[in-house]
Structure 1
Amino acid sequence: MGVRDSGNGLYSGMYFDGDRPASLYNKNVEWLRYPHFWWLYLGFVAFFVTLLRLTVLSKPEDLGRVLTVTHVVHNMVFFYLFHWIKGSPDNFSQGEFNGLTLWEQIEDGIPWTKTKKLFFLVHTALVFAASYVTDYDFSYLAINAPVYVFLGIIPKIPEMHRVRVFGWNKTAGIDDVPDDLLSSPSRPTATAAGGAAAAGKKNR
């Protein structure tokens, strides 16, 4: 049976047509629906800033460094958790999300949802705060700007959905769908492919 892509980004869709697993049953992203998640998320960021201010960067003039370190660490941790780790520990999905990162699983991969916009807002607020406090000093911008663009923004845009740049973070057997199948607007189903193969044998 030839490898195919059903357009839904699911593992089983590479081999046969089927229904999408309900997003509500993906426990890997279900916790993002809870309102108190955002308070906890922002609380962790505030705690990290406070920790730096009370320890290694406690001087008044160190606020710019504190916000820059917070911005960089936040982007690195967020990128690893949301844009690098793939799959879902939930057995209900039966491996359907093995080829998707956490970000690609959020709200069934629909772009520009409220949740995703809020994440964009947090990233933007952090880089703006770090740049404003440092008076847009070039030495800080040279760090904050690339981190914001390449770790905070580009991985989140819809055009990067299921894109593995230079093959990084690819999973053999899941992410190696031929490019012509991914880019083709009309993809043959497994039934059609089997019928075509059978017809070819009869014509020999």
Structure 2
Amino acid sequence: MTTTHEPISVDGSLSPNSNTNNNNQHRRRSSSIISHVEPETFEEKIDQDSTPNLNANWVHSKGAWLVHIVIILLLKIFFDLIPGLSNEISWSLTNATYVIGSYIMFHLVKGTPFEFNSGAYDNLTMWEQLDEGDFYTPSKKFLVGVPIWLFLCSTHYSHYDLKLFIINLLICAVGVVPKIPIFDRLRITFF
């Protein structure tokens, strides 16, 4: 009869190199492309509540919603000025440019550009920082509605062409799906 000896640390607990599963140990798989960010600890929550988050509070300022409409109109005018682009392609490019830009801004970049909060938001995207993580707030409803409205406009002005419809639908999905509550704190990384 053979017995295996588990490495034991000084305090009597099993060492991290042990082969047994210890509930207190959470190891992240390095080969996984999908990971989930754990909720903040009590200390991190206190750090977040101690100072205002200037990175996310701008959404509640006057004219913040209007900025999105102005950006879309400027993109549409820009693509209309390019010779040889049809109105259908112009709307699809406007849709793609806005959605990709908002995806990068709200879902890809983590943390804040300011150093006043001691890294309290370093692990969160801007979407997760908005409204302290609450869902179905007016700001978040608006930000979900803009890509949907842009999809409807681009589909209408492309005269319901099937190819452009599918392309614009996929673009809309890129802008809307990460905002759904089930995907909160879910990270999908390919690189």
TM-score by length of 2: 0.73
Q: Mark the runs of 5 or more structure 2 residues left unpaired by the alignment.
A: 1-23, 27-36
Matched residue, 1:30: 57
The alpha-carbon deviation at position 112 of structure 1 amounts to: 1.2
Change (3 A) 1:137 1:102: same
Counterpart residue type for residue 83 of structure 1: H
Alignment of 1:7-46 (within 5 A): 9-10=39-40, 13=41, 19=46, 21-22=48-49, 25-46=52-73
- SS of equivalent residue, structure 1 residue 9: coil
2:114 corresponding residue in structure 1: 90
Residues 23 and 80 of structure 1, relative CA distance in 2, 3 Å threshold: farther
User: Measured at CA, do residues 80 and 23 of structure 1 come closer, stay the same or move farther in structure 2, by a change above 3 Å?
Assistant: farther
Shift of 1:39: 1.9
Q: Considering fraction of residues, name the structure with more helix.
A: 1
Identity %: 23
Map residues 1-204 of structure 1 onto 2, 5 A cutoff: 9-10=39-40, 13=41, 19=46, 21-22=48-49, 25-57=52-84, 62-149=86-173, 151-165=174-188, 167-168=189-190
* Change in CA separation of 1:132 and 1:24 when aligned onto 2, cut-off 3 Å: farther
CA deviation map 1:72-100 (0-9, x unaligned): 11111111111000001232321111111
Segments of structure 1 that go 5 or more residues without pairing to the other structure are 170-204
SS of equivalent residue, structure 1 residue 164: strand
Deviation at 1:3? Answer: 7.2
Check whether the contact 2:51–2:117 (CA below 8 A) recurs between aligned residues: no
On the 8 A contact 1:26/1:90 being kept in 2, the answer is: no
Q: How many residues align?
A: 158
Q: Residues 23 and 107 of structure 1 are in contact (CA less than 8 Å); yes or no, is this contact kept in structure 2?
A: no
Once residues 155 and 18 of structure 1 are traced to their aligned partners in structure 2, the CA distance between those partners, rounded to angstroms, is 23
TM-score, length-normalised on structure 1?
0.69
Larger Rg: 2
Q: Give the 3-state SS of the residue equivalent to 1:91 in structure 2.
A: coil
